[in-house]
Homo-oligomer: A and B are copies of this chain.
Amino acid sequence: MGEFDLIARHFTRKPKRALLGVGDDCALLQPRPGTQLAISSDMLVSGRHFFDDVDPASLGHKALAVNLSDLAACGARPLAFTLALALPAIDDAWLSAFAQGLLALADAHGCELIGGDTTRGPLNICITIFGETDGRALLRSGAQAGDDVYISGHLGDAHLALLALQGQLHLPADLLAQTRRRLERPEPRVALGLGLRGVASAAIDVSDGLIGDLGHVLEDSGVGATVHADCLMTLLQARTHRLWPQCSAGAGALNSILSGGDDYELAFTAPQSARGQVLHAARGSNTPVTCIGRVEAEAGLRVIDENGQILSHKLRAFDHFDTP
């Protein structure tokens, strides 16, 4: 079976939202009048972003989820995406499962596959996603001194699963399954992002660890922040608390929250006057949010303990080009 049959078989569907979908030189998209198009591109590389033997349905899910998460962080409504895929070989069962995982999440968000490219090469997945914003896109640059700092959902689960899969700690089977699902099948916070339009002053999705990602917001906004270690600890799922001492003498949990990455939660800021609206957006999207600190004029991100002492941490994000 050739390249073109391959595309047709697993990925071609009749376009619903696009004027023209998969199969011509370009796809055609008609944004609604008065809207802007939000665009993001993410590339996932084997051995870097996922294990070679990862379940292909989960991989399909995650490849789209990380892009939907970028739309969520902009408060954009998902519209469509393109998929470019380098494959070492044709494996029909693998492709079928990958397409199933990918398209199930796409359908759940009304986000249409409109084009792409397939080629032979080391496994590489590049998705470019398109969303609509209504002129109130959430940017990284709007945080103001005095704003609250919030995190959606839980942090650290994905990193916990990663440590377990790497053999660095042992998890009970049910907890491994649960955290692994968070690592491999993250649920992008699209509904929360939409609810935060006109409410949040800045937002980002937490993909490379809280420190780095919140750091981008602070830097782009020309501000700093202080966050509370005890608030951060409440971001852990209750059941995982007791497990952390196993891996690196207590500091493991906080490190995982701060630098773990792969969480795909939203970090955002909002004026104190908007607390009621934040809560409303959280309830409306059925997403827990936690206030972890305060934006300040002084640059930098400070983590303090219950006594107000600054905790010294190697405060850095996951960087794809750092040597381990």
Residues of A within 8 A of B (CB): 1-4, 6, 19-20, 23-31, 33, 36-43, 45-49, 70-71, 73-74, 76, 80, 82-86, 90, 114-122, 124, 126, 128, 130-131, 133, 137, 139-141, 203-205, 216, 220, 319-322
CB-contact partner of A41 in B4, B24, B48, B117, under 8 A = B117
Question: How far apart are A19's CB and chain B's nearest CB, in angstroms?
Answer: 6
Question: How far apart are A34's CB and chain B's nearest CB, in angstroms?
Answer: 9
Q: Which of A31, A120, A128, A204 has the most CB of B within 10 A?
A: A128
CB-contact partner of A26 in B19, B74, B83, B122, under 8 A = B74
CB-contact partner of A321 in B24, B29, B90, under 8 A = B90
- Please name 28 pairs of A and B residues whose Cβ atoms are closer than 8 Å in the assembled complex, sorted by A: A3-B321, A6-B321, A24-B139, A24-B220, A25-B74, A26-B70, A26-B73, A27-B38, A27-B39, A28-B39, A39-B114, A41-B128, A42-B84, A42-B117, A43-B85, A43-B86, A43-B126, A45-B119, A45-B120, A45-B124, A48-B119, A48-B120, A86-B124, A117-B126, A119-B320, A120-B321, A124-B124, A126-B126
Decide yes or no: A74 and B24 within 8 Å by CB, A41-B117, A86-B124, A322-B2 being known contacts. yes
Question: How far apart are A15's CB and chain B's nearest CB, in angstroms?
Answer: 12
Question: How far apart are A271's CB and chain B's nearest CB, in angstroms?
Answer: 20
Taking CB atoms, residues of chain B closer than 8 Å to A39 are 26-29, 80, 82, 114-115, 128, 130
Question: How far apart are A68's CB and chain B's nearest CB, in angstroms?
Answer: 11
Taking CB atoms, residues of chain B closer than 8 Å to A85 are 43
